[in-house]
Chains A and B, each alone.
Chain A
Amino acid sequence: MVPKGVVIPGFEQLKKNRKLNKIWNFRHIYLFLLPAIIWFLVFAYYPMYGIIIAFKDFKFNLGILGSPWEGFKYFEQFLNDSSFYDVLRNTLSISALKLIFGFPAPLILALMLNAVMHKKMKRVFQTISYLPHFVSWVVVVTLLQKILSPNVGLINDIRYQMGLDPIFFMGKPELFYPLVIISDIWKGIGWGSIIYLAALTNIDPHLYEAAEIDGAGRWSKLFKITLPCLIPTIGILLIFSLSGILNAGFDQIWLMQSPATLSVSEILDTYVLKTGLQQGQLAYSTAIGLFKSAISLLLIVAVNHISKRVSDVSLW
């Protein structure tokens, strides 16, 4: 340990060399990162230069770099678009609801699973809760449609047998958000709980033993030990979630959307697809996408900064 303020010539260089040596010693493990790095470079970073068409009048023949510049024309167009407020409101509403109801759900499941003493039973529950994560949204939404269909759906079949009129669940704007949130939680709760379960195993069992000796009950242990120990994990996940607040979930919303629910279901991502690929306004839709990404970046920086100040939990 070098005392503060003391400068040893060549020390920094030595430190760097040690780091490089360490990397070299574990080179075969670092190499495992290579496919992921290549994937990011090829599919995430390389195509990113395409965002400049948000500032260009994109021509097929001139390509991304050759098309003439248009400045902030498309951003202005979006801000003056008659759909702007509706789209932004819907995006924020769905994201906020997902955050309020969807964010704590995996934590609650993890705590519940953690409380199951029977090991086999715990594994069975865990596996069952993971499974929906591997089912694609196409299948999930088709299932929902089949169950809730006014014509051949299970629920409406039961209503029909009871002499009741069918309800078009998927077409009621007031039911759209609950269906989005419930299906999102159903699909993601098991998978989301893995990180919390891992964090729970890291809590020192001595803390619980000491608490028991002091006479702490289940709830006391939960609020005084478990949750405080999970705070760093919760904090990091919350930062990630807030940065993605404008990602309301394209696949799910696109598949669940219908003319009947359009007033509450048109979000930034679906609007980008419609203006870009359906109406051919590629530069305009890129501007909308960039607008979304810029706000997300601002959010992640701001939330990280606040979190660092308030709780010492931060991404960097």
Chain B
Amino acid sequence: MRKNRRRGVFGMTLIALLLLVTMTACMGSGKEENAGTVDTDPNESGTEEMKPVTLTFLSAWNGGGASFPQDQKNNPVAQKIREKTGVTLNLESITTSEVEKLNTIFASGTVPDIVNAPFWSTTGGEGQVIKKAAMEGQLLDLTPYLDKYPNIKRLVTTGIAKDFAEFDLNSPEFEGKAYLIPTETPDGTPESIHNWNYGLFARGDILKALNVKAEDIDTQEELYDLLVKIKNGGFKDIGGKPVIPAGTMWNGWDYGQFLAGWTDYTISDFREVDGKLIHWTQSKDHEARLLYMRKLLTEGLFDLEAFNNTSTTANEKLTTGKLAVFGAQPMLADLQKTLYKTNPEMQYELLGPMKNKSGDIRTQVEKPGRSGFPALFLSADIKDPDAALRYIDYVNSEEGRLLAYFGIEGTHYTMENGLPQWNPDVKKQFDENPDLKRDAGLNYLPGRFIGAFSSEVTWPTPEDQKTEWQKLEESFSAKMPIKIIDKVSASYLARDWPQYQGFRDKTSSLNFDEEFKKAFFAASDEEALNILHSVQEKFRAAGVEEMSEFVAQKAAERDDVGF
């Protein structure tokens, strides 16, 4: 009897322990660790004291955590911002799809205090989700706060294309409310528009061995011939394995560079072909683009795994010289600390620039301001919106920007003739090991918190202080200058088409690019063309031709519309 009772007690204790462990595992501690000291003196305006606040920040960008310092809270920049604003950020990022993450946080009601996410348009992708969330009360309306935070007010009005500001950033459906703070936008001058230098880059040693000049390759035929020569040349990566003649970064980004011959450098979804306006999905060029890609893939000239590359596998290929030619940005941040250190002879050179069938070189098309950018928004449930806005406003002040880009005066830089100059030792360390710069907190603010600004325009680096990589980027930009079109995009006219919403509903589950990529791997050219024609037909069935006619009519009524 006693034995049984003892067993019972033992069993109950075990169960209690098990439950306790389970429940403890399910619960967070809910407490924030002490984030450090706060300057509780009256702030610069001298009116109020700041309480220490910890806020959550999500960088809703795939791989966005790469710029986060290892010590998020006590790096020199974060400490200084805490002294000035009382705010500490818990930084979070994602390694999955941006739109998936946004849908998840909105549907589950777990929106972090501050979020930065892609905002390219309100008719698709992430922007569409953000717009829906804004209209359904998930985002904080910033209108009442803007006058209090002049730097933020500048961000929402500077460096944004007129039409994008009118129809997307301040969508009429927002009814005058402001939900988004643009970042990474230019300061309003053409010089401050960032050139991303998209293009095709070929390994220098291979071009040399083949006696080919990079600038001579500027047509689709020449590109094909070059890739054939590379394939037959028996070139190797740094591990002694054969190179892949052509490839991309993760998920096929950006295979479009291999099709620059059929790229139109425009600002809308519509193209003028033989005097008629067509939607981009209906272009005849898609057939030629498709067959060209198929030729590269079937002849072993293009990385078969390019469209499944994760960022890790893509990076591995890039930094081992596995790709003889790649299409994307120059990827100098990754290459300068890896391949260019171990094998400088392999340094990639810009091909062309490639020309399209009209003879235009590959270029970045912009309006006087930016159409689409990373945007910040605050959760409607944020407990202390002023703390978040104080943080954003501060890092966008002159003092905050200096801190974000150059760190602590005296430690990292000194001011000379009104311009910040890196301390030579610090600069040497950062040049040799870019991770040190990241861990000092000098990488995470510029792209995700600062806008209406260009460091290169405000603090131009003297020629003798530019790193070889800066000079290399600039040489690419010089070859592919930005093209500015000061017009209203015709895409916005389509929104007045009476059947526009019906068209959007019918095409919401159609993914042209996914079908296009599927066609690359079809068993035959005929089957591939069938896949292409089928998706084009689905867009026609949804009314894309009627929509184009409507847009053409509306565009004819005004003279400021661009295609």
Complex contacts, B47 vs chain A, CB 8 Å: none
Instruction: Say how far A57's CB is from chain B's closest CB, in angstroms.
Output: 11
* Set B99, B103, B241, B521: member contacting A259, Cβ < 8 A: B521
Chain A: CB-nearest residue to B535: A82
User: Which residues of chain B (96-112) have a CB below 8 Å from chain A?
Assistant: 97, 99-100, 103-104, 106-107, 109
Q: Is the CB of B97 within 8 A of A279?
A: no
CB within 8 A of A278: which of B97, B244, B308, B322?
Answer: B97
Please report the C-alpha to C-alpha distance between residue A83 and residue B97 in the assembled complex, in whole angstroms: 22
B276-317: contact bitstring with A at CB < 8 Å (1 yes, 0 no)?
A: 000000000000000000000000100111011000000001
Contact A259 B137 (CB under 8 A): no
- Decide yes or no whether B12 CB sits under 8 A from chain A: yes
Is the pair B15, A31 in contact by a Cβ cutoff of 8 Å? Answer: yes
| Chain B CB within 8 A of A183 CB | no
- Give per-residue flags for A249-274: 1 if the beta carbon is below 8 A from chain B beta carbons, else 0: 00000000011111100000000010
At the interface, yes or no: A149 with Cβ under 8 Å from chain B? yes
Is B232 interfacial (CB-CB < 8 Å)? no
A293 in contact (CB, < 8 A)? no
* Segment at the interface with B among A1-9, A103-111, A127-135, A164-172: A164-172
A34 in the interface (beta carbon within 8 A) = yes
A32 lies within 8 A of B303 (CB): no
Mask for B521-555, Cβ within 8 A of A = 1, else 0? Answer: 10100000000000000100000000000000000
A280 B103 Cβ-Cβ under 8 A: yes
Count CB-based A-B contacts (< 8 Å): 106
The answer to whether A279 and B509 touch (CB under 8 A), given A31-B11, A60-B132, is yes
A278 touches B100 (CB 8 A): yes
A137 smallest CB distance to B (angstroms): 15
Q: Report whether B106 and A60 are in contact in the complex, using a CB–CB cutoff of 8 Å.
A: yes
Interface residues on chain A, size class: 35 or more
On chain B, the residues within 8 Å of A82 by CB distance are 538
Q: Are A62 and B129 in contact (CB under 8 A)?
A: no
A166-B300, A277-B103, A280-B99 given; A151·B244 CB < 8 A: yes
Q: Which applies to chain A's interface (DSSP): helix, strand, loop or mixed?
A: helix
Q: Which residues of chain A in 61-113 are interfacial with respect to chain B, using CB atoms and an 8 Å cutoff?
A: 61-63, 81-83
Verify A277–B99 contact, CB threshold 8 A: yes
User: How large, as a class, is the contact surface on chain B?
Assistant: 35 or more
Give A82's nearest chain B residue, CB to CB: B538
Q: Smallest CB–CB gap between A284 and chain B, Å?
A: 8
CA of A82 to CA of B538, assembled, Å: 9
In the complex, which residues of chain A have a beta carbon less than 8 angstroms from the beta carbon of B509? 81, 83, 275, 279, 281, 284
Binding site for A on B (CB under 8 A): 7-8, 11-12, 15, 18-19, 22, 97, 99-100, 103-104, 106-107, 109, 128-129, 132-133, 136-138, 241-242, 244, 252, 300, 303-305, 307-308, 317, 322, 508-509, 514, 517-518, 520-521, 523, 538
Beyond A145-B305, A258-B308, A260-B518, 6 extra complex contacts between A and B, CB < 8 Å:
A31-B11, A81-B509, A258-B307, A260-B520, A277-B103, A279-B509
